[in-house]
C-alpha cells in the first residue's frame, strides 16, 4: 500500500508573531514553487500562534496543528486548550503524548488515549507519540515499551485517516543522537505488526520517526520501510532548515 508521507514540524515553546510569520510565509512560498507536493506538510506552533499561522497558510497546502489538547471539550481547566478550540483556531492535527508531556506533566497512556480520542472527536487527526528512554533501550526493553504505549495510547475508533503514530526515542530528542537506521526500521516494523492486531487498516497508518531529524539524515531515515514521514523539532523552526527535510517527502 502506498502511504502519503507526512513531514511535521513541532515548534514546541518557541516563536513570537513577527519572526514566526516570516518563517511560515517562507515555507509556504517554497511549497508553492515546488514542482509537485507528494507529501503532507504540517507545522505545530505554540497555541498562541495557531490562528495567525492558519490565516497565513489558508491558501497554501501547508497545514497547522496543535502541540497538545485537553481530553475534555470545555470546563474548569485553567491554562488548558481543548481539541475543539484548536479546530476553531484553524488546526487540522493535534500532537498528543509527546515525551516532554509524558515526562514533564506525568501523562500516562490512559491520558494520552483520552486526548487522542478528544482530538478525533473534534475532527482533528491525532499524532500519538511513543518512545523509550535511554535506560529502557540499554536494558533491552525498547520493543516491549513501544508495544505497551501503542496498545494503551491508541484511541478507540483509530483509523489510518484519523491517527498517526510517531516514534520518538526519548534519548534522541534534541540531543543530536539518532538510532541506527536498523534500529529505526526494527521499531517501525514492530509498530506496524502491533497495529495489525488492533485495527483493520494498519497498513495505511502513517508511522513517523522523530528525534534529531535534520537535513543531513532525513533522506536515509525516510527511505526505510515503514517510515512514512518525520516529526521534526528544532530543525523545523526555520524554513531554510526544514525545507531539506520536506524535500525528502516530495521525492
Instruction: Answer yes or no: 190 catalytic.
Output: no
Which one of the listed residues 98, 107, 132, 190 is annotated catalytic? 98
- 13 CB burial (10 A radius; 0-12, 13-18, 19+): exposed
Spell out the SS3 assignment of the chain. Answer: CCCCCEEEEECCCCCCHHHHHHHHHHHHHHHHCCCCCCCEEEEECCHHHHHHHHHHHCCCCCEEEECCCECCCCCCCCCCCEHHHHHHHCCCEEEECCHHHHHHCCCCHHHHHHHHHHHHHCCCEEEEEECCCHHHHHCCCHHHHHHHHHHHHCCCCCCCCCEEEEECCHHHCCCCCCCCHHHHHHHHHHHHHHHHCCCCCHHHCEEEEECCCCHHHHHHHHCCCCCCEEEECHHHCCHHHHHHHHHHHHC
Which one of the listed residues 23, 107, 117, 168 is annotated catalytic? 168
Instruction: Answer yes or no: 188 catalytic.
Output: no
Catalytic positions = 98, 168
Amino acid at each position: 500500500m502506498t502511504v502519503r508521507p507526512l513531514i511535521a514540524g513541532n515548534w514546541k515553546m518557541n516563536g513570537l508573531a513577527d519572526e514566526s510569520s516570516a518563517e511560515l510565509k517562507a515555507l509556504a512560498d517554497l511549497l508553492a514553487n515546488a514542482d509537485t507536493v507528494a507529501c503532507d506538510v504540517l507545522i505545530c506552533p505554540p497555541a498562541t500562534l495557531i490562528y495567525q499561522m492558519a490565516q497565513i497558510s489558508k491558501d497554501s497546502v501547508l497545514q497547522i496543528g496543535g502541540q497538545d489538547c485537553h481530553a475534555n471539550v470545555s470546563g474548569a481547566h485553567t491554562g488548558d486548550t481543548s481539541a475543539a478550540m484548536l479546530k476553531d483556531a484553524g488546526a487540522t492535527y493535534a500532537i498528543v503524548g509527546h515525551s516532554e508531556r509524558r515526562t514533564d506533566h506525568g501523562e500516562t497512556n490512559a491520558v494520552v488515549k483520552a486526548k487522542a480520542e478528544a482530538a478525533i472527536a473534534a475532527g482533528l487527526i491525532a499524532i500519538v507519540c511513543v518512545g523509550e528512554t535511554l535506560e529502557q533501550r540499554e536494558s533491552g526493553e525498547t520493543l516491549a515499551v513501544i508495544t505497551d504505549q501503542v496498545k494503551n495510547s491508541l484511541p478507540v475508533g483509530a483509523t489510518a485517516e484519523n491517527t498517526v503514530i510517531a516514534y520518538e526515542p526519548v534519548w534522541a530528542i534534541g540531543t543530536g543522537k539518532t538510532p541506527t537506521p536498523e534500529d529505526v526500521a526494527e521499531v517501525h516494523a514492530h509498530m506496524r505488526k502491533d497495529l495489525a492486531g488492533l485495527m483493520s487498516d494498519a497498513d495505511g497508518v502513517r508511522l513517523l520517526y522523530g528525534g534529531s531529524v535534520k537535513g543531513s539524515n532525513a533522506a536515509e531515515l525516510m527511505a526505510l520501510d515503514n517510515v512514512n514521514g518525520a516529526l521534526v523539532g528544532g530543525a523545523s523552526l526555520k524554513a531554510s532548515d526544514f525545507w531539506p527535510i520536506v524535500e525528502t517527502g516530495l521525492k
